[in-house]
A = this chain, B = another copy of it.
């Protein structure tokens, strides 16, 4: 649990959330926050807790998941550099999801009360927060329709296309995180994820371990029926 005051974090300042705000205000936020390193597989917070920090994943990998009585389900896999659980912080409400690190991670912890206070003073930050929440809302709308309208292999195909697009559109890339987590994110069992990869072989996807190659983007796209509305520009 190494604590350290923040020095210069240009990547954080470049985040859409903090980009447009007043420099002095940003400095105030950052100097009131700490950058902390967490080992893999560590629970960062639990569902139901009062939101005490806004998190910004600087480096590593974090899983957000919700718990039922019987089993958990992965809601989101957070890659750097991204903030998360903004909604709970804004409204000073309990987390709806738990979080754990999937890899050793560097996370900026912004005290929720500080965040709320600065938001009230800095209009640019408030506007950025508003935009961020609207984008998050739209992501969730897409995730829900995905779950309701597509079947499992289609969901996987869709995920691979999006994931590839988010990482520079390369046709070859590596999955982030374990397949079991991906399966849970996509709302299926690990067994069925395997079978879904099998199905996608016939639709332009070559997979060996975590290495994925999209050999026929058109075919995959046709199979997984992309959203009618293109992804939001961020």
A29 within 8 A of B: no
A82-140 at interface with B (beta carbon < 8 Å): 86-88, 90-91, 93-97, 119-120, 123, 126-127, 129-131, 133-138, 140
Contacts of A67 in B (CB 8 A): 228
A73 within 8 A of B: yes
Known A-B contacts A69-B225, A138-B96, A228-B48; A90 and B144 likewise in contact (beta carbons under 8 Å): no
Q: Which label, helix, strand, loop or mixed, suits the secondary structure of the A interface?
A: helix
The answer on a CB contact under 8 Å between A97 and B141 is yes
Contacts of A133 in B (CB 8 A): 87, 130, 133-134, 137
A94 to B138, CA, bound (A): 10
Contacts of A136 in B (CB 8 A): 137
The answer on a CB contact under 8 Å between A134 and B66 is no
A15 to B127, CA, bound (A): 21
